[in-house]
Amino acid sequence: MKVIFVGSEKASSGVGVIPVFKGGKFYGAAKRYARDSVGQIKAAMKAGHFNGEKGSSVSLYAPTGSKLAGLLLKGAGEKTDFDAEMFGATAMKALRVSGEKTLTLHLDGFKLKPDDAARAVVGARLAAYHFFKYRTKLPKGSETTITTIRVSVDDSAKARAAYQKFHGPICDGQLMARDLVNEPANTLYPNSYAARIKKFQKLGVKVEILGEKKMKELGMDALVGVGQGSRRESQLVVMHWNGGKKSDKPVCLVGKGVTFDTGGISLKPGAGMWDMKADMGGSAAVVGAMHAIATRKAKANVIGIVGLAENMPDGNAQNPGDIVTSMSGQTIEVQNTDAEGRLVLADALWYAKERFKPQAMVDLATLTGAILIALGHEHAGLFSNSDKVAKAFAKASKHSTEKTWRLPLAPEYDRLINSPIADMKNIGGRPAGSITAAQFLQRFVADTPWVHLDIAGTAMKNDRKDPRETTLGTGFGVRLLNQWVADNYE
């Protein structure tokens, strides 16, 4: 998608979209259209009983006095709470398959912040995203025709800078995360996934790939055990971005990358199992975030670590009741092979902590079905051993529009994962399922300030209402991670 920022000027081709605020007010270039169209705009608004109410709109074709194919007047509500990102998203949704090539968002004349103008493009790009890679034929009219997004805004230079330096690269990262999540497990498996990440070296990211032999040497039997029933070799991929001072300790981003989760011997039911190709959504967020961090040359030291494994039932698979020793030395009774994400993260988190001694670390995982019961698809569950880092995340969450909700950690929950025959078991029973999973992870971070995000409900969605979400994979986490790094470590 080509993106252009211009000052207040009338567009000469494609479709123009104009926000009309409550009371029928519009500004900037839109006023010139109104003048040149000798009353057509006012007449259309009147005929359409339209005065800028949010959610309503009126369109005009070939308005007199311009070379545009059409104008879309979109109700934008009160000027004080104008949501530029949603404006961009709904405009794209309305016009994506219109046949026109250029979508011009007229956001000039009312002193819109440059940051918001950049976000309008983000909204439009997210709404334009589709995963058509495996469609050999598309019904006529479902192909995206828009190839250029043009934004007219008062301070176009600042808006362009905000987009190119921050929002654009982050949006690229988010769309990359969506692509990874939507990719099926016969093409995206630990090896092929690691090979994709290896390409980040072009961006100045150092990439290390650890296979099963190396992981075994390090004592990562919890992680390796998850993939032992698969013909695909598990991988641990470490991405290094050194954009900060040499003396600064890094922050670590850790992701669950189960490229397919059958449940293993504790097999999942067949209905809906296909969505478990998306059980690598946490890793996709980390990978997309690292891509963005490197492209925008963030002035921070950031390490991305993803544990990649395929959870399969097979003659070599682990059995319920198996006891494994994690890299930390702690033993785990694997009562349920479907609670595999925490086994992957146990070793990945311990490794991150031991090797990098990070200032803070965060993990993202499609960890529990229980988080969907608690928070639905709207908020990711946030758990933390540090009020300071939890607060920083709450703030980043607000700015990035990726919502989180903090849930508790406490000794009473921790007790639920004790096992009489090992140091712990990997399930804690039905009550507080997301919390006991987080308690399990906490046993592998020691006193490193840490946040765990359970994104099972937010990284993958079948039921979508937000125009920015168009496929199973949402790319959740890329924006949040970047905002958190930018706010606190750059």
Active site amino acids: 268, 342
Q: Which residue is nearest to Zn ion (CB)?
A: 261
Site membership for Mn ion, residue 338 (CB under 5 A): yes
Number of chain positions touching ligand BES (CB under 6 A): 15
Q: Which residues pair with 301 in a beta bridge?
A: 242
Q: How many CB atoms lie within 10 A of CB 25?
A: 14
Phi, psi (5° rounding) for residue 104? -105, 125
Of residues 448 through 477, those in contact with ligand BES by CB under 6 A are: 456
Single-letter amino acid, residue 484: W
* Of 63-71, 338-346, 353-361, 462-470: span binding ligand BES (CB under 6 A): 338-346
Whether the CB-CB separation of 114 and 107 falls below 8 Å is answered with no
CB of 129 to ligand BES, least distance (A): 21
Site membership for Zn ion, residue 347 (CB under 5 A): no
Site membership for Zn ion, residue 227 (CB under 5 A): no
Site membership for ligand BES, residue 370 (CB under 6 A): yes
Site membership for ligand BES, residue 261 (CB under 6 A): yes
CB of 460 to ligand BES, least distance (A): 6
Single-letter amino acid, residue 4: I
Placement of tokens 């790319």 in the chain: 475
Of residues 260 through 319, those in contact with Mn ion by CB under 5 A are: 261
**How far apart are the C-alpha atoms of 77 and 237, rounded to whole Å?**
47
Q: Which residues pair with 74 in a beta bridge?
A: 19, 57
Site membership for Zn ion, residue 454 (CB under 5 A): no
Placement of tokens 């301070």 in the chain: 155
Site membership for ligand BES, residue 366 (CB under 6 A): yes
Q: How far is CA 482 from the centre of its chain?
A: 10
Site membership for Zn ion, residue 279 (CB under 5 A): yes
Site membership for ligand BES, residue 343 (CB under 6 A): no
Burial class (CB in 10 A: 0-12, 13-18, 19+), 239: buried
Whether the CB-CB separation of 283 and 208 falls below 8 Å is answered with no
Which strand (E) or helix (H) includes residue 485? helix 478-489
Site membership for Zn ion, residue 173 (CB under 5 A): no
* Of 121-129, 335-343, 389-397, 439-447: span binding Zn ion (CB under 5 A): 335-343
398: its two tokens: 């607000």
**How far apart are the C-alpha atoms of 439 and 417, rounded to whole Å?**
8
Nearer to ligand BES (CB atom), residue 119 or residue 443: 443
Whether the CB-CB separation of 248 and 301 falls below 8 Å is answered with yes
CB of 380 to ligand BES, least distance (A): 12
Number of chain positions touching Mn ion (CB under 5 A): 3
Of residues 396 through 435, those in contact with ligand BES by CB under 6 A are: 427, 433
Per DSSP, the three-state class of 379 is coil
Q: Which of 179, 221, 333, 340 binds ligand BES (CB under 6 A)?
A: 340
* Of 64-72, 348-356, 366-374, 398-406: span binding ligand BES (CB under 6 A): 366-374
Q: Which residues pair with 363 in a beta bridge?
A: 254, 452
Binding site for ligand BES (CB under 6 A): 261, 279, 336, 338-341, 366-370, 427, 433, 456
Q: Which residues bind Zn ion (CB under 5 A)?
A: 258, 261, 279, 341
Q: List residues near Mn ion by CB under 5 A.
A: 261, 338, 340
